Structure 1
């Protein structure tokens, strides 16, 4: 046994590479059920060893393996490239061990969840279930929203996992990376070498690209369809993998989904809470939802009575309670709030349930060299590095109305009754620009009775990839077009007496790349230009926000 009280095996893969595999045993003589995890993050190993104490105390062997090319494992680190075969080879070794009683489960979050999906369709019969947390395998949709790249997630991740010694600890590296134009040259300028996989991410903007339609990423996103064991999934309303988690759960075959569970709380990627709101009762499933996993494993690996029911449970923000959903997270109808030109005060315009009868418009100047700073939300991850200047995640107090001339604010009257949002908010904007391509953003907020506004959901679209386009659509400067932005799902109740605020602009940086107002592949463009942006309101151009709502509990 080593200093952590475990035995380390060097498990040989089919190509001869040996992976460090740390095994923690319960007290007693065994054999026991086994929980198997794999991780590429050496710095997290002490955390895993600490977690092992919980599992061994409850009668499980806990196995944590270091992925190829990381930590004490041999081989070359290439993100995602070897996880399916290495995982299956390791399971083949695991099920032959005399201390294993014939019942195993896989376990882990984020990358440690991706490695589970990689082998989900080829599991040996000894693996009875998987527990996958805060994980996304819809990689295109995670990298891009309507043609706009998520810098704060994937540029930050690329810097920390570049394989360049010491790169992740270099002060100011992230801001240096964001400033490189054309951005595709970031790796060579900062590291003196190429990161081919990152170059693919930032240049393959179309979901119809062979890069996304074929090979690893295309195969990975279909793994849930081929999965035959029940899955317990956890996700956070403010985690960057939220949308992909929901899509993966929905892809499970009906009989598998009926035996599976999805728990969504008000959490960020750390599997805990953050931000400026309180979330009483969010921790009902224990730290990092570990108690839910224990109940799940006790049933599937030990045959104990089920304590965690299959199905979907979500935390309803601002009601501060949990709700189980039958047949998916659903709403009973839509409630539209329309954008109006008339002012409600010196800084904001009206947001109303009544449509504006007469057409009008409001314009602003968007300068890519002065983007709107991101604040809060789910499409951020750099905060995990501990950078004090990182964008804060989750729901946080937003700047007041009128703070910037390039952000147009719309505010409703105080609500006469609760508005129970359940699902995806949709923005329908009628817009015009003098640029050949550009972007528009929307942020939806609840304005509390004390006047503070906290973000609910945000979204963005380029004109080239508007309305779900899979290849770029040509835009003619000066044309009025509809741009539909579908936001990520949420269960949030805007309370009676609160107001709804909607901000429309053209940038949200560094959550998303700064659109240069020039058509083409963004990461290959070095120049920028300012653009005149116009939002059309009322009449035939009914710009509005549509809320999916339920009327009762």
Structure 2
């Protein structure tokens, strides 16, 4: 019995656990199952019950997983938790490559087949889990095993090349950090004190390691986990979409036709790395399948749906934004009760398929917790994207304006210099997290080690979410005198006048630029910002980040080929921003920032045109953004007509 379980369950009331049941997969490798079943007076309850299944690389005995059994088993469900192959108590086959692990879907199908054949199973399986434990759900659904009945993947990436490992041609460097988290408990490291210590020493020196690029084989403690080191170098150097990225391990979107036609609930957050992936997953399933699909998007960062706070980083969205573990489980129970029991009744006819949180409408003042009161409310929708959204171009003007009025023929271009030695620092945004291990003396380290796992002692090096776009000592990469990003010479700001009426923007969006550069290859970045007006709490106002992204110019004509720039050549580029939903209030401004770096969230372009991840030096690049009538640069915003921007509590 799990020692972390509650007192009632420790006495055997309600749940029995069969621990580390070793179940062979089709290739003979055995996975470790923890099987929780309904019990009465310490004995298994006879009968066939529906099953909730979770398949994870993060240790099936973790409290966040065993509490699933605490909740579901007393209500008449089996709960089966499984360690991924090569992880924890499952057997090793030497194929754990993080996102690129090949056996996950087939193992998921074998797991479903085994559970479905057990005498305690009614043959209906629902799956749960967030992040990697959502990846395993979708990979299993692509195999379409017959016992898989309904799934709830929370914050799942569906295309590693577009929305997990790379983005717009650049590497998402939260994956550098994530690989160390997967290395510290790798089966080849965890029982070797010297290797374990080296992994944690790397995480203690993460700042230096981010600066020590280009990364090379043997440079880090990942050399003790060859598959994870190989994944790092693939994520870092494979900038073009090739056969590596085209495999099912990386790109599920190619296999949607094979996906089981079963009910799916997709949940994500506007500040999670994957709102684009999850909303596109919903759209594809709705188009291709007959089963009912649901989409839930809140004002959350990664796995924030289970959080108990009403704020994300520096911004508060009000008490209605909170789900927390209790509601999370209640909603999942209601969902699976429609599909898994023998007497399941299916989807209620009146339930809206889409529920989104529209951010905005708050006071703009500081809350008792010291957060910006941005507010917001939930709203039900019948489709995604919203049919009533009006694609509206807001043109970047030569004088720094942002306007629905098109530019003049002689509108001036704006220019800046991008120097990779002094990049624009990451201030919030959409990524998982990046944590570092605090430095400490040997005695302190040993004392803490007896009390807490190093994972629990990590502190944020970068925190995702909405942040005022002003440098500060606590933000890695910031430099004195810590200016507002709007005041940096390498950031072009385009903003509307103060709005006379509120404007809601909900949906996916794109930025279209005409650019030139002195470099053969360079990057352009874009951010969408809600500029709160100044008040007593925020004398300088608050420049609230909504979303951001990038384009690496060598891939401007497609990710399957490299097309380099000629000095001064004027070309169009498109930056695809993640979707969001925000009400820009009266007196606020809509702002777009254009630059060429967002570090360390995204890797730096050296501006040399050398092979990806193998550069020998960096050089500054002189950048231009054009805004005249013949070369209009603009952001295409999905504007919701004011009369149709209703909300529900």
Fold agreement, TM-score > 0.5:
yes
Deviations 1:146-183 (A, max 9, x none): 2111112x111122223344255334343343223322
Partner of 2:430: 378
Q: Secondary structure at the match of 1:360?
A: coil
Q: What residue number does 1:337 align with? A: 394
Cα 1:230–1:497 shift into 2, 3 Å: same
User: How far does residue 203 in structure 1 lie from its aligned partner after superposition?
Assistant: 2.0
The Cα offsets for residues 445-481 of structure 1, whole Å up to 9 and x where unpaired, read as 1111222110111111111112545311221111111
Q: Does 1:441 align with 2:525?
A: yes
In structure 1, the gaps of 5 or more residues are 343-348
User: How many correspondences in the alignment?
Assistant: 544
Residue 26 of structure 2: which of 1, 14, 32 is its match?
A: 14
| Cα distance in 1, alignment partners of residues 93 and 27 from structure 2 | 12
Counterpart in 1 of 2:55? 38
Q: Does the 8 A contact of 1:439 with 1:462 survive in 2?
A: yes
Tell me: CA distance 1:101–1:486, structure 2 relative to 1, closer, same or farther (3 Å).
same
> What secondary structure does 1:240 align onto?
coil
Residues 180 and 222 of structure 2 are in contact (CA less than 8 Å); yes or no, is this contact kept in structure 1?
no
State the alpha-carbon separation in 2 of the partners of residues 318 and 81 from structure 1: 42
* Alignment pair present for 1:363 and 2:415: yes
Cα-to-partner distance string for 1:487-533 (whole Å, 9 max, x where unaligned): 11111111111112221111001111001001143211131111111
Asked if structure 2 preserves the Cα contact closer than 8 Å seen for 1:120 and 1:223, the reply is no
Which residue of structure 2 lines up, in the alignment, with residue 425 of structure 1?
509
Q: Does the residue aligned with 1:178 lie in a helix, a strand or coil? A: helix
Q: Which deviates the most, 454-463 or 26-35?
A: 26-35
Are 2:327 and 1:315 aligned? no
Query: Offset of 1:410 from its aligned partner?
Result: 2.3
Answer yes or no: is 1:49 the counterpart of 2:80.
no
**Paired residues of 1:283 and 1:289 also in contact (CA < 8 A):** no
Instruction: Quote the Cα distance in structure 1 between the aligned partners of 2:635 and 2:145.
Output: 48
CA contact (8 A) 2:168 2:549 kept: no
3-state secondary structure, aligned to 1:269: coil
- Whether 1:299 aligns to 2:338 is yes
* Structure 2 partner of 1:393: 464
- In structure 2, C-alpha distance between the alignment counterparts of 1:126 and 1:242, rounded to whole Å: 28
Preserved contact between residue 261 and residue 309 of structure 1 (Cα < 8 Å): no
- 1:226 pairs with 2:259: yes
| 1:501 is the counterpart of 2:591 | yes
Which residue is 1:345 aligned to? none
Quote how far apart the aligned CAs of 1:282 are: 1.9
Whole-angstrom CA distance in 2 between matches of 1:381 and 1:401:
22
Q: Which one of the candidate residues 390, 398, 401 is aligned to 1:350? A: 401
Matches within 5 A, 1:398-409: 398-399=469-470, 400=484, 402-409=486-493
2:231 counterpart residue number: 197
Q: What's the CA shift for 1:354?
A: 2.8
SS at the partner of 1:105?
strand
**1:146 equivalent in alignment to 2:168:** yes
Output the CA distance in 2 between the equivalents of 1:20 and 1:279.
41
The 2-side partners of 1:187 and 1:495 are apart by 52
Distance 2:327 2:556 in 1: 37
Q: What's the RMSD between the two structures over aligned residues?
A: 2.5
- Structure 2 portions without partners, runs of 5+: 6-15, 191-195, 306-310, 362-375, 437-454, 471-483, 535-540
Write the distance in 1 (CA, Å) between the matches of 2:199 and 2:347: 43
Q: 1:325–1:468: structure 2 CA closer, same or farther, 3 Å change rule?
A: farther
The verdict on how the C-alpha distance between 1:322 and 1:471 changes in structure 2, with shifts beyond 3 A counting, is same
- Equivalence map 1:442-481=2 (5 Å): 442-450=526-534, 451-466=541-556, 468-481=558-571
Which residues in structure 2 correspond to 1:251-270 (within 5 Å)? 251-252=284-285, 254=287, 256=289, 259-270=292-303
Shift of 1:57: 2.7
Further displaced range: 163-172 or 500-509: 163-172
Partners of 1:496 and 1:549 lie apart in 2 by: 15
Does the residue aligned with 1:324 lie in a helix, a strand or coil?
Answer: strand
Deviation at 1:304, TM superposition (A): 4.7
